[in-house]
Amino acid sequence: MKIAMLGAGAWGTAMAIRASHAHPVTLWARDAAQVAAMQAARANQRYLPGQAFPEGLQVTDQALEHWLASQDLVVLASPMAALRGMLERVAPLLTGQPVAWLCKGFEPAPDAAASAGWLAHEVQRQVAPHLHAGALSGPSFALEVARGQPTALVAASVHPAVREALVHGFHSAQLRVYANDDIVGVEVGGAVKNVLAIATGLCDGLHLGLNARAALITRGLAEITRLGVALGARAETFMGLSGLGDLVLTATGDLSRNRKVGLALAQGMSLQQAVTSLGHVAEGVYCARTVVQRAAQVGVDMPIAQAVVSLLEGQATPQEALAQLMGRQAREEG
């Protein structure tokens, strides 16, 4: 199976490294200087320093028109904000190959007057409805995947052929890939956990203790499930890898970018300082407002996500955001 990985950030590079132990993989980047550096070093020193490329991994910036149609599986490793443009670019070049994306989040609405933004599969439905496509998601840090540390992901699509292609392309002794046809649930879990990880980072940064962290994760999972079910997902999806698994990892792992944002804000950094210090995209920062807007459209209450929005938009200090949550009226848990 020939696999095209379009995007050479940390996550795209890590997945390309893992797949290339069993399949020929072409890692594409639009930046010629970055490609030249990776070809010379046989590693992506900018995003995954020290992680050597296997023989089966080739790097190129060649125009997609010249080679993409010959690939058996196309994987888009762009940030969520770039997914629409990537789909528009590759759709005319393909002849039925399965397509998948690695990004997690909601595409932001184009302006304040527009309706709330869209999940990745909704973007694809708008711009390239003929594609057989899906998502590869789940609890995973790029560095651990590149190292070959044990990881489990979920291949989500309504198309069996897409799920099968992703399992065939990426499943190995180090990386287990489970199939799931509930793409709505998988994408909601992958998107909203980033927002909630900011809240848990804030909790840890304020030294509120493990009890508080456990409460935030548990009630955060309830928020994810409520929104997902309202959008058409199955509730049981959120007890799996892309729900509970991804939330626990992102909310507690030291490699979590979104958790680091919460930690930085708790230490008194501005949002701009927090984001700049990462050197990578923290999707929760960019989709928090959209999550709350989408929840409001379907009548779902998401107090933790709303508190994160208040914090990110400068409407509340870390202490005020915490008070906003703890001051809520008592209610039944269910």
Evaluated on CA atoms 236, 223, 83, 138, the torsion sign reads negative
Beta-carbon contacts of 224 under 8 Å, excluding residues fewer than 6 positions away, are: 188, 189, 192, 193, 196, 238, 243, 247
Distance CA 170, CA 18 (A): 7
Helix (H, G, I), strand (E, B) or coil at 137: strand
Rg (CA), the chain: 19
Do 63 and 93 touch, CB atoms closer than 8 A?
no
Residue 193 bears catalytic tag: yes
Distance CA 332, CA 11 (A): 40
Strand partners of residue 60: 28
Q: Which long-range contacts (CB under 8 A, 24 or more apart) does 138-141 make?
A: 138/190, 138/241, 138/242, 138/245, 138/246, 139/241, 139/242, 139/245, 139/246, 139/248, 139/249, 139/250, 140/249, 141/249, 141/253, 141/255, 141/256
Which member of 2, 104, 193, 260 is catalytic? 193
CB atoms within 10 A of CB 272: 8
Q: Which long-range contacts (CB under 8 A, 24 or more apart) does 55-58 make?
A: 55/20, 56/20, 56/21, 56/22, 56/23, 56/24, 56/25, 57/16, 57/17, 57/20, 57/25, 57/27, 58/24, 58/25, 58/26, 58/27
Active-site positions read 193
